[in-house]
Amino acid sequence: MVAKRIIPCLDVRDGSTVKGINFNDITRVGDPVSMGIRYSEQGADELVYLDISATREGRSTFLNLVTQIASNINIPFTVGGGISTIEHAADLLKAGADKISVNSAAVKSPSLISEIASKYGSQYIVVAIDAKFDGEKWEVMTHGGTKSGGRELFDWVNEVQMRGVGEILLTSMNHDGTKEGYPVELFRELSSILTVPIIASGGAGSASHIADVLTEGRADAALAASVFHYGTIKIADLKRELFNQGIDIRL
């Protein structure tokens, strides 16, 4: 059985990791490469680096950083943040990224997904989706959740899969930041209609939330940021706990 994956997500601005972290023996706090190495040593199954730079200089720093990450880290990593063209996707591949994640640009022009998948393979493209429940339906949001993407979630995930995506990273905006857990029913429903892997993101406050979304929710992976960065959940402890519950986990 393929193991359920635990994925820490690092936000990077102008070449530095934004969120703090409780690794007391890292000399250069905020260095995304050192943090990635440390997470990988703790047992992270993959890493996600999101570029949140707002400037052109910041983005070019990020490209250099991707080269550094690729030469220092021996587990797969995904990069995302503002990727909107096939040229940008090509630059990141050349720099050594294993996968890229595309969000708003895919909603705006869905053909980008098919183009990247056919040129570089499905394994290279992750579509990240921010969805918001409005009481009746799940709406796809873009631009960091600030704008409506004009798509309904189930309709969108079907199109994304049909266009050849390698996996889907889904964040519920209703749950993100609450630390009260994931929308387990939603993930279970999506998992029953999709064949591509689903990464659950947003809402983890405890190990049991992660266990729930991986078992009841049938998600293939769980991604989190602050609970790992602030040490609320330690990856090695989390994985041991999930393993002890009988979940397929790589220790």
Partner 1 sequence: MIAVIDYDTGNLCSLGNAISRLGADYIITDDINTIRAASKVILPGVGEASTAMQKLRDKGLDRVVGELTAPVLGICIGLQLMCSWSEEGDTGCLGIFPNRVLRLRPSAQFIESGKGNLKIPHMGWNRIDSLKTNLFKNIESGTYQYFVHSYAPEIAENERYAIAVTEHGDSFASALNLRNFYGTQFHPEKSGAQGELIIKNFLEL
In the complex, least distance from residue 158 CB atom to partner 1, rounded to whole angstroms: 13
Per CB under 8 A, contacts with partner 1 among 86-105 are: 93-98
Catalytic residue among 51, 98, 130, 212: 130
The greatest distance separating any two alpha carbons of the chain, rounded to the nearest whole angstrom, comes to 49
Report the residue from 108, 137, 143, 250 that binds partner 1 according to the rule CB under 8 A.
250
Q: Which is nearer to partner 1, 24 or 195 (CB)?
A: 195
142 binds partner 1 (CB under 8 A): no
Pairing of strands 5-13, 198-201: unpaired
Report the residue from 76, 82, 181, 231 that binds partner 1 according to the rule CB under 8 A.
76
Identify residue 215 by its one-letter amino acid code: T
Per CB under 8 A, contacts with partner 1 among 146-175 are: 166-167
Q: Is 14 a catalytic residue?
A: no
Site map for partner 1, 44-73, x if CB under 8 A?
A: -xx-----------------------xx--
108 binds partner 1 (CB under 8 A): no
Q: Who contacts 24 (Cβ-Cβ below 8 Å, separation ≥6)?
A: none
Q: Is 130 a catalytic residue?
A: yes
Per CB under 8 A, contacts with partner 1 among 180-239 are: 191-192, 194-197, 218, 220-221
In the complex, least distance from residue 105 CB atom to partner 1, rounded to whole angstroms: 21
- What is the contact surface with partner 1 in residues (CB under 8 A)? 1-5, 40, 45-46, 70-71, 74-76, 93-98, 120-124, 166-167, 191-192, 194-197, 218, 220-221, 250
